[in-house]
């Protein structure tokens, strides 16, 4: 029997949550190791030896150490996904990569960053981030009106990667009220077997 996969994470990090969620969906025994970002634990030599960029999440899969949440999702899908989660068919694979790029682009610099302002006090201009988030959600709403998940009718790593910062967008004062297809998509992800939620923070619209 192999040891548990170690997950170095912060409970309020959507990047960390996507890996924690993927591990749970795959049924992988996981040892959660919280990294105290407020005290700078991610910048200490011990952690930098795991990820020289000093960022969570990191996994240690019995000696295989990997950083970057989206890269970790690819690894987990390939290693433990049994042919699910990361399509091999060329068009579906390309569409999955398209959404992974959106996760690292428009989602990271829209709803994720808007949430950084309210949860962590990041010095960004919130109105611009909120406007960018709604531009993104208008596109998502249109596309999710055509399929159950981001790439067709089966969940992929793209859905797992996108979930947390969209589900928690209200914490950054980005309302989801005008996006019924997006809200239905969130509920479909939450209905997946062994789904685990991310800790909520009572800030922004979430505090109302």
- Contact call for residues 163 and 189 (beta carbons, < 8 A): yes
User: May I ask the CATH architecture of the domain 90-207?
Assistant: Up-down Bundle (1.20)
H/E element, 70: helix 69-80
pLDDT in the model for residue 38: 83
Quote the tokens at residue 24: 């749970």
Which residues lie closer than 8 Å to 15 by C-beta, 6 or more apart? 55, 56, 57, 69, 164
Q: What is the pLDDT of residues 94-144, one digit of tens each?
A: 999 999 999 999 999 999 999 999 999 999 999 999 999 999 999 999 999
**What residue spans in the chain does CATH classification 1.20.1050.10 cover?**
90-207
Topology of the domain comprising 5-80: Glutaredoxin (3.40.30)
Listed in order, strand segments (DSSP E) in the chain are 5-9, 30-34, 58-61, 64-67
With 80 as the cut, is the pLDDT of residue 1 above it? no
**What residue spans in the chain does CATH classification 3.40.30.10 cover?**
5-80
Residue identified by tokens 């309210």 is: 118
Q: What is the pLDDT of residues 51-91, one digit of tens each?
A: 999 999 999 999 999 999 999 999 999 999 999 999 999 99
pLDDT in the model for residue 107: 98
- Contact call for residues 157 and 150 (beta carbons, < 8 A): no
- Comparing 162 with 202, the larger pLDDT belongs to 162
R_g (Cα) of the chain, nearest Å: 17
Looking at the DSSP bridge assignments, the partners of residue 33 are 8
Which residues lie closer than 8 Å to 124 by C-beta, 6 or more apart? 113, 114, 116, 117
| Position 208 confidence tier, pLDDT thresholds 50, 70, 90 | low
With 70 as the cut, is the pLDDT of residue 2 above it? no
Whole-number mean pLDDT of the chain? Answer: 95
């Amino acid at each position: 029997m192999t040891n548990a996969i170690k997950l170095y994470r912060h409970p309020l990090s959507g990047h960390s949550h996507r890996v924690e969620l993927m591990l749970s969906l795959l049924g992988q025994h996981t040892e959660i190791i919280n990294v105290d970002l407020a005290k700078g634990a991610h910048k200490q030599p011990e952690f930098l030896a795991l990820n020289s960029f000093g960022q969570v999440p990191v996994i240690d899969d019995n000696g295989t150490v990997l950083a970057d949440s989206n890269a970790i999702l690819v690894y987990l899908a390939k290693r433990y996904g049994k042919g699910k989660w990361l399509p091999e068919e060329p068009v579906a694979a390309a569409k999955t990569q398209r959404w992974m790029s959106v996760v690292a682009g428009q989602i990271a610099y829209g709803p994720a960053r808007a949430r950084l302002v309210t949860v962590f006090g990041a010095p960004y201009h919130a109105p611009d981030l909120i406007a960018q988030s709604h531009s993104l959600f208008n596109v998502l709403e249109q596309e999710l009106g055509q399929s159950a998940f981001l790439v067709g009718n089966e969940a992929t790593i793209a859905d797992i990667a996108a979930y947390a910062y969209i589900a928690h967008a209200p914490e950054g004062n980005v309302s989801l009220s005008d996006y019924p297809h997006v809200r239905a998509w969130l509920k479909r992800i939450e209905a997946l077997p062994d789904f685990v939620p991310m800790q909520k923070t009572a800030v922004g619209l979430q505090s109302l």
